[in-house]
Amino acid sequence: MSTDTPIERLKAIMRRLRDPQSGCPWDLSQDYASLAPYTLEEASEVVDALERGDRDALRDELGDLLFQVVFLSQLGAEEGRFDFDVVAAGIADKLLRRHPHVFEDAAAAQDPSRSWDAIKAGERRGKGLHGVLADVPRSLPALSRAAKLGRRAARVGFDWDDAGGARAKVFEEIAELDAAAQRGDTVHMTEELGDLLLAVTSWSRHLGLDPETSLRKANRKFESRFAAMEAVAAEQGLDPDSLTAAQWDALWNEAKSRVQS
């Protein structure tokens, strides 16, 4: 299998895997829908490697994600719709189009974010998508999608004036959730909890923070501390299934002293 570049070699391997006569049965059985969860998984593993600062893992995970791009492009080629080269050309054209301040128009360099927004809005209209929120993917994790919806709305002026306004909205939603909880109204509790999470993403944006990143870090910290707590319990001969609230609290404080982040 002689090819000139690593990407051409990868594309040739993909074609062989999908060969109807001599290909791999598993690869031949895949379609767009079956590859969707693998693509999400590989993208998540790239993010995990980035956040851990593991450059070796990042290299490997980028390869896995690239394979998903090549695989999906091969399916497109088999249908006669697009192939990897068309995909690569499309993103290259888009980058040139969205960066006139770099490649074309010196005047656009005065306000590149404004130019970027105007260009993206034109692209959405070209696809028949006329709303500001029209193409925010529904497949995004809910917290990430909420943050993106908020950013889009803010670009056209639908936003709090400052972080204080967003913060006040968070406490307003907490009060409404409390009121629904006191009534035992689970329908409205669900609705108010959603409103609270949405308000938190707005506050996060005004603080310059990404809520999805913050929550992932909190999850990792909780996992580390809980594992340390289990280790302390084992050292002390304690049965986790029979601990009192006070014992759990003591173990948690000990775990926090052992695991700082």
Token readout for 180 is: 């629904």
**Tens-place pLDDT, residues 204-252:** 999 999 999 899 899 989 999 999 999 999 999 999 899 999 999 999 9
**What average pLDDT does the chain have?**
90
Q: What is the largest CA-CA distance in the chain?
A: 71
Kindly report, residue by residue over 135-190, the tens digit of the pLDDT: 888 888 899 999 999 998 998 899 999 999 999 999 999 999 999 999 999 999 99
Look at the domain 6-98 and name its fold. Helix Hairpins (1.10.287)
CA–CA dist 230, 1 (Å, integer): 52
In this prediction, residue 98 carries a pLDDT of: 82
Determine the pLDDT at residue 195.
97
Tokens 């005065």 — which residue?
110
- What's the pLDDT at 107? 61
- Output b/e per residue, 73-111; b: 16+ Cβ within 10 A: bbbbbeeeeebbeebeeeeeeeeeebbbbeeeeeebeee
CA distance linking residue 149 with residue 206, whole number of Å: 14
| All residues at 6 or more sequence positions from 90 whose CB lies less than 8 Å from its CB, including other chains | 82
- pLDDT at position 91 over 90: yes
Q: Tokens for 242, please give them.
A: 């029979």
Listed residue (151, 144, 200) closest to 171, CA to CA:
200
The predicted model scores a pTM of: 0.65
Question: Domain boundaries in the chain?
Answer: 6-98, 213-258
Q: Is residue 108 pLDDT above 90, yes or no?
A: no
Please tell me the distance from the alpha carbon of residue 18 to that of residue 180, in angstroms, as a whole number.
55
Give the pLDDT of residue 190. Answer: 96
Residues 6+ apart with CB under 8 A from 15: 74
**Which residue from 58, 134, 126, 130 is spatially nearest to 93, judged by alpha carbons?**
126
